[in-house]
Amino acid sequence: MINKKYQFLKTKIILYVEDDLELQKNISLILNNFFDKILIASDGDEAYDIYLENQNIIDIMITDINMPNTDGIQLCKHIRAYQKELPIVILSAYTNTDYLLESIDLNILTYVTKPFTTQKILRLLDKFLEFFELNNQKELGKNIKLTCDNSLLTINDRTIKLTKKEKIFLKLLSENQTVTYDMMYEYMWDYEKSPSVDAVKSFIRKLKSKLPIELFKNQKGEGYYLL
């Protein structure tokens, strides 16, 4: 039975990349106890394709470092071009100082040596919980806090319930100097059907009407930024 403290991770989607198929099978069986959905790739190229197709839903990536075609470091570099905050764990059969130094620049959550034992997995799950707890709350200004898991915005003593799109938009504002229109289309509308200019304006107008203060402004032709 899963420890109750890990139940939160059941809502997360993980991308697991491993070229050793026997190890991939064994670790996947363990991870399946903690995550409802695991996307599996056998090399860096396949993982990158899966990431591009699912980047808006992937919450965690665990990747081997030594793989044919694109290795783990190069895969991380490709992904960091799209997403700076995705928690990434690198696995290796041995400790390589050069890899360790390079991974520091890639904002890697942690570096785990094989064998990837159950104990190591449990310690890793604790790291994930710490990461999501820290990233669950975003500061948008003095006495302005966004709580992501329940979509609540607190301004001074007032709490405002947000829609999914509103939460994503404010989270993007907390993480980026400017939230461009392309970012809004990608993360809020998922490129399924690009919204009209009027739809974006309507979204912004409704959000501003819910807020007791002016929180963000438009940068003409670019997008929006926090005040």
Say yes or no to pLDDT of 195 above 90: no
- Is the pTM higher than 0.85? The answer reads no
Q: What pLDDT is recorded for position 160? A: 95
Distance, CA of 77 to CA of 55 (rounded, Å): 15
Distances (CA, A) of 113 to 25, 91, 116, 140: 18, 6, 7, 37
φ and ψ of 141, to 5 deg: 165, 180
- Residue 213's pLDDT band, with cuts at 50, 70 and 90, is very high
Say yes or no to pLDDT of 2 above 60: no
Q: Which is nearest to 153 in space by CA: 226, 59, 60?
A: 226
Could you report the per-residue pLDDT of 108-161, keeping only the tens digit for each?
898 888 888 888 888 999 999 888 877 788 888 888 999 888 899 999 989 999
Q: What pLDDT is recorded for position 136? A: 80
Domains of the chain: 4-135 (3.40.50.2300), 142-226 (1.10.10.10)
